[in-house]
Structure formats: C-alpha cells, structure tokens
Amino acid sequence: MRVIAVLLVIGLVGAGIVGALSALGGGSGSSKSSSGPAPTTSPQPGSSSPPTPELAPFYGQRLAWSPCGDFECSSLTVPVDYRDPSGDTVHLALLKDPADDPATRIGSLVVNPGGPGVPGTNYATQGTAAFRQPLLDHYDVVGFDPRGTGSSDPVDCLSDAQLDDYLAVDPVPDDAAEAADLVDEYDTFWQGCADRSDDLVGHLTTVEAARDLDVLRSALGEATLTYLGASYGTKLGATYADLFPDRVGRFVLDGAVDVSLDARASSLAQATGFETALRSYVQNCLDGTDPCFLGGTLEEGLTRIKEFLVRVDAEPLATDDGDRVLREGNAFYGIVLPLYSRDYWSILSQALRAGFSGDGSTLLRLSDAYASRNADGSYADNSMEALAVISCLDDPYAVTPAQVPAQLPAFEQASPTFGDVFAWGLTGCAGIREHATERDRTITAAGAAPIVVIGTTRDPATPYAGAVHLAHQLDSGVLVSRDGDGHTAYNTGNACIDDAVERYLIEGTVPQDGLRC
C-alpha cells in the first residue's frame, strides 16, 4: 500500500516501484492439502452460473480480445450498483499477456498490484519485472483496472494544478491558519469528486470491486479464480474469498493487509512500518565502509531526517523544475518512495544529500514519480484520487483538527519521524460527500481452498504483523514469511519465496504453513 501524507494509504508494488523509479536511475507448522483442480484452457462447466438470477446477463458475457501493442485488450461490463443490476453499467478495462508457452498453458492468472487506485492493466504489462518466467510461461496474466481507476470510468476530483497543491500541502499544520488550509484542501477535493465525477463515485468500495472480480472470472471461463494480489490487492482478494469461497482457486496474497483493522489502527500500523524501514535504511548507511552522511548513530540519522522535514516546512527548497519548489508534503513522499525497495536506498541517499545542500530537485522527482506525475505537469493516472475515494468509502473514519493533538502521542511513539504526518492524515475523510452502499466485511472465507498469505518482516507499507493476522483470520490461510526489507516478497530475489509461490500456482502444491524464507 502507498501512504498519502495528506490522507490515507495506497499501494505501490513490484513493477510499480520499478516504473516509478527507473527514470531516476538509480518456520514450522502443519502442511495443508492441495487446492481444487487446476484451471483449464477452455471454459469450465459452471463458470457462467450467476450468484443470483438478476446477474445472469453479466455472467453470460464473452470477452472480445483485440491486439493492443504486444498484448490483448478487452472490456468487461458490470453493474454500477449490484443491488440494482438492471440499472447503469460500467465498462472495466482488461489487458491480457498470453502465456509464453501455449502448450503448457494452465489458464488465466488475474493479478492486482494494490492501491487502492493503481491500474491493474499496467501491472499485467510488466513481464519479468513483476512476474518470473514460470508464471509467464504457464498463465495468461490478466490485469484489470478496478472500477473508478485507470481506464475504467476513472473518478476525477481535481485538475492537475489542484492535485499539485493537494500533494504539496503542509501535512503537519503548525497553527490554526495552516490547519484551515489543510481542511480547505480536503473540502476542495471532496467537492471536486462530486462535481467532476458521475454516479459511479459512490460505488467504488472494495466489496463492489470483489464482485466485479467474480464477473471477470466467469467471463474468462474459469470455474474458480486463480489470483495473485499484492499490497491492497490482498484486501481485494480476501474480500473476494469471503464473498465467493467456493470460487477460490489458487490464491496468493503478497504483502498482506490486516483486514480486521479500522482506518486509525491501519494508519498507526503503517506509521510503525515506515519507521521500521527508515531505521533499517539508516542502519545500512551506518554499516557501510564510508562514514554515514546522516550522522554517527542511528538516532542521529533519524533526527537529521526529521529536522530536515521541519526545515523544508519553514523554507521550501529550490528545484530545477521551473518555478516549482519542494514543500514538506512532496519531501515526505520523496523520502518514503525509495523505502519500498532496498534497491533504491542509494537514490534516497542521493536525494537527501542534495536536499541537505538546499537542492530539492531529486526529492521532487521522487514525489512526482510516487504520484504518477508526468514531466509536463499532467498525471499518468488517477491513482491518488481513486485512493482517497475508495479508502474513505470503505472506512469513512475521520477526526477533526481539534482532535488531532489527542492522537499525537500514540502516533509519535509508533513513529518519531513520521508519526505526526500519519496523525494529521486521520482528518482526510471528514469531507466525503458520498456514502457507501457496500460496507467492509468481517472476513474469514470459510470453506475456501488454501490461501497463501505472504509477509515481509520489514515491509514499510504493509507491516509484517498484518500478514500474520490475515493468515489467522482466513480459515484456510497459509502463512509464508520473508525475512527482509522492502514491500512484498515475490520476485524480489528470494528463491525460497519464488519457489513456494510458483509451485503452488503451477503445480497446486500448498506451502507448509509457517514457512520462513
């Protein structure tokens, strides 16, 4: 999941990190039995059976795939409101990367990179940057843009210039005037969502996206869904499993979210996760052969980064991007993005060295990459807007600025560096104009086939404890742990994890519950 300084959390995984940063350079436990039969290469009996008669027109769809570059594209029609299937519909964008070895093709692997708000079609195009060759050989990798994201009737709340201001706003107001500015940004955002988007904006919950997943499964001709979800995609997958346990095939949830937590508890956990990742980054600097530019001790390094953010708040830094300056909100994003992958800690060091010298250019570019902002000032997708809408529809919990001081002690204890940012982020949903028609569920997925849940011990965005809890919450959860840094585990260089994931998805061999890699 990706964190938003002025709001909540959003996911950025695997290939998403590669895409965002490449331009910058830069156990023991009982074994569970195998899942049901592997998906086949042709439509399976019962794949078109709808959960209710009213949904039959949607479950009878046949996808018309057409070439789009090196891939195949199509669209899927789903109801805007599942309570009224005869009402308005929305078309979801689909992209398929056909199996590289058709002779050994198993079926369709539906993938989701997280968010909420990140387009899944882009994820499916990433090839070996996101998926290893064994999966690409045996599966059609199918990505979809969830409703309201990417090319699936994207929700729109702000102009590009307004989104620039929204992301740069001071995430930690110092006085009543700055707090009022923050509230004004939220009001502008939520009013913009109402003014600039259609009625779909009130139907962007995770539950509704999970219902869409089942329509997609049917359209792909699969009796059960084979799924690889990362970050927030684990919440989407777990929600699907709870709604349709008999349709769960081979499921892998990587970088798992604790779906039992409310918005405040999730934010507190993520604050802890990013503090843990930052400490690991600083310690790595200290352990190097050269003197660490951050200081001589772990606490000195953390303090210097915190004091840097305070200085940027007081006096934004000049950049090489025209009249743009680096403000505290952008500086925060610029620091947290490289924490998603250990491979990019060197870029963070370059950015901080420049920032300490008064040049905010690299941190601003990192912030822009985080938000999918193009060099010309446009945005490549609506992920930052969709994040807010989906998150706040799922859980509209919010506090007022006057209530934030009472939250600060817990958050600053969890994260002395970033805690105040996360505490103020709790105000973000206060102005939402829409009310969800589908609420989050208590998730157990009783009756589902084994679901593999993966956690990384020093994952900043989805802390390891979330994977442990989700594996326990799911009746058929199988916990696999990666000892390491960065967000998510599959295809990050850990052979043990890769083997466990691929043997399950390709052969149906369920990993040992409690496997540690």
Active site residues: 231, 459, 487
Strands 107-112 and 139-144: parallel
Q: Which residues pair with 229 in a beta bridge?
A: 112, 253
Q: Residue 52 contacts by C-beta under 8 Å, 6 or more apart in sequence?
A: none
**Which helix (DSSP H) or strand (DSSP E) does residue 352 occupy?**
helix 345-356
CB contact at 8 A, 17 and 341? yes
- What long-range pairs does 350-358 form, CB within 8 A, spacing at least 24? 350/26, 352/293, 352/294, 352/305, 352/308, 353/293, 355/308, 355/312, 355/317, 355/326, 355/331, 356/293, 356/304, 356/308, 358/317, 358/318
Among 195, 184, 183, 123, residue whose Cα is nearest residue 155: 195
Strands 515-516 and 477-485: parallel
Q: How far is CA 505 from the centre of its chain?
A: 22
Q: Hey, CA dihedral for 240, 242, 243, 246, is it positive or negative?
A: positive
Q: What is the identity of the amino acid at 251?
A: F
CB contact at 8 A, 457 and 484? yes
Among 486, 428, 461, 489, residue whose Cα is nearest residue 3: 461
Structure tokens at 298: 């772990």
Q: Hey, CA dihedral for 465, 468, 472, 476, is it positive or negative?
A: positive
Q: How far is CA 51 from the centre of its chain?
A: 28
Strands 139-144 and 515-516: unpaired
CB contact at 8 A, 210 and 444? no
Instruction: Give one word for 110, left, alpha or beta, with left for phi > 0 and alpha for psi -120 to 50.
Output: beta
Among 110, 49, 48, 56, residue whose Cα is nearest residue 79: 56
Q: Hey, CA dihedral for 76, 77, 83, 88, is it positive or negative?
A: positive
CB contact at 8 A, 146 and 152? yes
Quote the CA–CA distance of 510 and 27 in Å, as a whole number. 15
